[in-house]
Amino acid sequence: MAVSIEWYLLLSAAVFSIGLFGILVRQNALMFLMSVELLLNAANINFVAFSLYWGNLTGQLFALIVIALAAAEVAVGIGIILVVNRNFDNIDVTEAATMRW
Amino acid sequence: MVGKLSAVVLFGPGIEAAELTALFPLLTFIIILFFGRYLPLKGAIPGILATGGALAVSLWGVADIATGAGPRQETLLTFVEGVAGDGVTLTFGILIDPLAILMLTIVSLISFLVHIFSLGYMNDEGEIDLPRYYAGLSLFTFSMMAFVFSDNLLMSFVFFELVGLCSFILIGFWFREAGPPSAAKKAFLVTRFGDYFFLIGVVAVLGTFGTAQFAGADSFVSIATEQLENGGTIMNTFLGFGDGAWITVIGLLVLGGVLGKSAQFPFHTWLPDAMEGPTPVSALIHAATMVAAGVYLVARMYGFYVLSPTALSIIALVGGFTAFFAATMALVKQELKQVLAYSTISQYGYMMLALGGGGYVAAVFHLTTHAIFKALLFLGAGSVIIAMHHKENMWEMGGLRSEMRVTYLTFLAGSLALAGIFPFAGFWSKDEVLFETLAHGLGGSPVLLVAYAFGALAVVLTGFYTFRMVFLTFHGEPRTELAADPEPVRWNVKFPLAVLGVLSVVAGFINMGVLKEIIGEGNLFLHEFLDGKTMDADLDSVGLSAHHYAEVLESDFAAGYEVAELNPLGPGAVATVLAVVPVVAAWYLFRGPDVEPKMTKLGSVRTLLMNNYYQDEYQVWLARGLTLPAAKVANKFDQGIIDGVVDGAGGVSLFAGERFRKIQTGVVTNYAALLTLGFLLLALVFALVGGWI
């Protein structure tokens, strides 16, 4: 039997909230990056759930694109983290604040 | 272009290649500008070749037209295309008719001789910066040539301005001294003031007629004539003027530029100061280029001016008055070139008088003879100045005739022409100017009679100041050691003097108007030439012939002048007497070995004349007392209000930015928080507006 749509949405909201909490409070850049991944995947869950609900493949297609995007983003993000580490000797996101004005 | 070249090969240069008269000097200008300092004689040779070439082309063109060719009108460059019959098309074009080719010949001849003379006056005297000088001369010649063959008013305006710029460059050639830069600035500003009205006039012509062409059935001249003759609504008038009144307004606006350039009262003040420039430049400016440009412009669009009796009267009055007014100031001047400067103003007054008095041919004739004898007089003065080591005061000269034979004889020929003594060139032309004015005046225009009286009085003064100058400079005993042993001048000074001296004697014979009852009208060559009688084509059909002008002039819808039947011998005899008597008087006053200053007896009148009627003072007062405060107020408004608003806007955003940038903490977590809060806020707003809560 199929799981009803509300459960998917609830799961998605929970994952999103965990991600949001992560980017608001984490100082470690790696954790920060992972939180962003959680946000993206919360959206993916929604896409796939509604795709199943409506019987329309467009949502799944979008999910694939978001996964590709997330992969690229991680590559760039980790690059940035490496540079931050080289410059500040740690990867605390609150310390890399010297380029504001 | 290929077609042009083949036309040149087939038919010779002549009128088909008249552009060359401007292109040669333009080319030399570029060459001298970049390579002048490496050239032998610092650029004089290309200049001489170019003006010599231009002279050859012009003479060929005269021969062409005298044997039946022309007129030629061609658009060379269209730089704004009217959209589908709407709006105006702005072009550069070439118009070669008898008037233009005659003027091209004059300009190239004078410019050619001035270049040769410059070898003696500039190169031999060891002046520095000569490439700048020769480049200026070339650009000057180019601008004037292009102005002369312009086929529309806009192109005329463009080159009119360029002529003004070139005179600025050349008058201020010796910019290291105090006088020349200031004189150059004055010449530029005074003529610019007149040109401002000219500019408005050009816009008015374009707005009224939709075209600025000079010749042909579509020209603004033809449209205006058609409108006045037959009525209708083929032209737009503005500000509620009637057709005739609006045409007068346009004519007067353009006249502003003419008065400035041709140094007519009250814009004549720049010209005497312009004597600060090198003497060959003075010769060029006064005889053929800058000053001639104004009179030429009126002659060029004479078909337009004959439509307006008011404009003609103003031209005649200003001309006659200027002729007289300038001549009085020339009476007391002590410097050779100053006398000549005021005589130039006076003689251009005669040309304006002729134009205003309906004597188109007379004006062009006087323009021609004046170009020759005034160039001669200036170059003669230049020769004297070389001999006197750049002393110009006539009271330091005297007795130069025995040491400077060529200069004396040619200068004398030029002076006789200027004074209007039979049979020198000036006699024929000045007499025709006065005769035409008198004939039209007696036909029922009292204004012209007043102008004629001024002109006739000026003849007396002219004879007197001219021969005062001659006697003081060349006769009597040398009054200084320098004058006793003047520096000899070379061939490059004597050759131009000789050419112009001969021309001053013979040039008048092209139009012996006084004798027309005896030799027959058909033998007045210049008259026939300007009337297009020598051409196969009909010059009337494009509205440029002398008798077309006369016809319109006498039509009731236009100026409505009447011509009185008058035998030219009578006024001719009067003019001769008027010219000879003052020459004898000058001889009587300034003869003998020891000359005393005689003009001091005039007392306070002399002081007034020496100070030029305080014209400079009142113009300076106008500038300082009126224009300067007005400019200051405008500056305050500009700086305070216009700039203030802009500066205020900048200041506010600068201040706001200073505060607002503090929210940029650089901490990525804060940004995330702001994003989230912003989103929540947005959601809240949507919720409230959408009525979900």
> DSSP letters along B565-630, please?
---THHHHHHHHHHHHHHHHHHHHHH-SSSPPP-GGGGTHHHHHHHTGGGHHHHHHHIIIIIIHHH
> Are the CB atoms for B615 and B272 separated by under 8 Å?
no
Q: At a CB cut-off of 8 Å and minimum separation 6, what does B307 contact?
A: B224, B225, B228, B244, B247, B251, B552, B557, B558, B559
Q: Is B666's CB within 8 Å of A98's CB?
A: yes
- Cross-chain CB nearest to B664 (options A93, A98, A100): A100
CA distance B306 to B551: 9
Q: Please name the residue of chain B whose CA is at the shortest distance from the CA of residue A28.
A: B669
Rounded to the nearest angstrom, the gap between the alpha carbon of residue B224 and the centroid of all alpha carbons in its chain is 25
Condensed to tens digits (0 to 9), the pLDDT of residues B546-555 reads: 888 888 888 8
B664: nearest CA partner in chain A: A100
Q: Helices B44-66 and B20-35 meet at what angle, rounded to 10?
A: 180
- The pLDDT of residue A21 is 92
Could you tell me which chain A residue has the CA closest to the CA of B670?
A: A24
Question: Which residues make Cβ contacts (< 8 Å) with residue B588, sequence separation at least 6?
Answer: none
Shortest CA distance to B337 belongs to which of B180, B165, B469, B157?
Answer: B469
Contacts across the A-B interface (CB distance below 8 Å): 30
Query: Is B666 at the interface with chain A, CB within 8 A?
Result: yes
Q: Cβ of B571: how many Cβ atoms within 10 Å?
A: 21
Which DSSP helix (H) or strand (E) runs through B49?
helix B44-66
Rounded to an integer, what distance in angstroms lies between the CA atom of residue B357 and that of residue B59?
30
pLDDT digits (tens, 9 = 90+) for B283-309: 898 888 889 999 999 999 998 898 888
pLDDT-based confidence at B1, cuts 50/70/90? very low
**Cα separations in angstroms, B658 against B644, B647, B655, B665, B671:** 21, 16, 5, 14, 19
Residue-wise pLDDT tens digits, B379-436 = 999 998 888 888 888 888 877 888 888 888 999 999 999 988 888 888 888 888 888 8
**What pLDDT is attached to residue B4?**
53
Contact across the interface for B667 and A32, Cβ inside 8 Å: no
The span from the CA of B122 to the CA of B131, in Å, is 11
Is pLDDT of B95 > 50? Answer: yes
Q: How far apart are CA B348 and CA B270, in angstroms?
A: 14
B666, A23: Cβ pair inside 8 Å?
A: no
Q: Taking each helix axis from N to C terminus, what angle separates B179-209 and B220-230, rounded to the nearest 10 degrees?
A: 50
Give yes or no for residue B498 having a pLDDT over 60: yes
- Establish if A16 touches chain B: CB-CB under 8 angstroms: no
Does residue B357 register a pLDDT over 70?
A: yes
The Cα B187–Cα B292 span in angstroms is: 15
pLDDT category, B377, cuts 50, 70, 90? very high
Residue of B nearest to A25 (CA): B669
Which residue in A23, A98, A101 is closest to B669 by CB distance?
A: A23
pLDDT of residue B85: 61
Average pLDDT over residues B17-37: 88
State how far the Cα of B43 lies from the Cα of B133, in Å rounded to an integer: 9
Judged by a CB distance cut-off of 8 A, whether residue A2 touches chain B is no
Closest Cβ–Cβ partner in B661, B667, B668 for A101? B661
List pLDDT tens digits, range A4-62.
889 999 999 999 999 999 988 988 999 999 999 999 999 999 999 999 999 899 999 99
Between vectors from CA B657 to CA B655 and to CA B659, what angle results, nearest 5°? 75
Answer whether B101's CB lies under 8 Å from B62's CB: yes
Q: How far is A2 from chain B (nearest CA, A)?
A: 31
What's the pLDDT score for residue B396?
A: 82
CA distance linking residue B369 with residue B372, whole number of Å: 5
Interchain proximity A24–B672, CB inside 8 Å: yes
Residue A101 has its nearest CB partner, among B664, B672, B673, at B664
- B576 in Cβ contact with B427 (< 8 Å): yes
B489: which residues sit within 8 A by CB, 6+ positions away?
B120, B383, B386, B387, B404, B407
d(CA B469, CA B466): 5
Does residue A1 carry a pLDDT above 70? Answer: no
Q: What is the pLDDT of residues B236-245, one digit of tens each?
A: 778 778 888 8
B146-170: per-residue pLDDT in tens? 999 998 899 999 999 999 999 999 9
Rounded Cα distance between B362 and B677, Å, is 92
DSSP three-state, residue B305: helix
Confidence (pLDDT) at B12: 58
Which one of A94, A95, A98, A99 would you mutate to disrupt binding with B, by most B Cβ within 10 Å of its Cβ? A94
Among the listed residues B542, B505, B510, B280, the one whose alpha carbon sits nearest the alpha carbon of residue B415: B505
Please say whether the dihedral angle defined by the alpha carbons of residues B362, B305, B215 and B73, taken in this order, is positive or negative. positive
Q: Is the pLDDT of residue B126 over 90?
A: no
Tokens of B343: 């005589």
Residues with Cβ within 8 Å of B203's Cβ and at least 6 positions away in sequence, in order, are none
How many angstroms separate the CA of residue B658 from the nearest CA in chain A?
10
Percent of chain B whose pLDDT exceeds 70: 97
Q: Out of B661, B665, B676, whose CB is closest to A20? A: B676
Cβ-based neighbour number of residue B343 at 10 Å: 28
pLDDT digits (tens, 9 = 90+) for B202-232: 999 988 888 888 888 888 888 888 888 887 7
Record the pTM.
0.80
- Rounded mean pLDDT of chain B? 86
Across B97-106, B478-487, B590-599, least confident range: B590-599
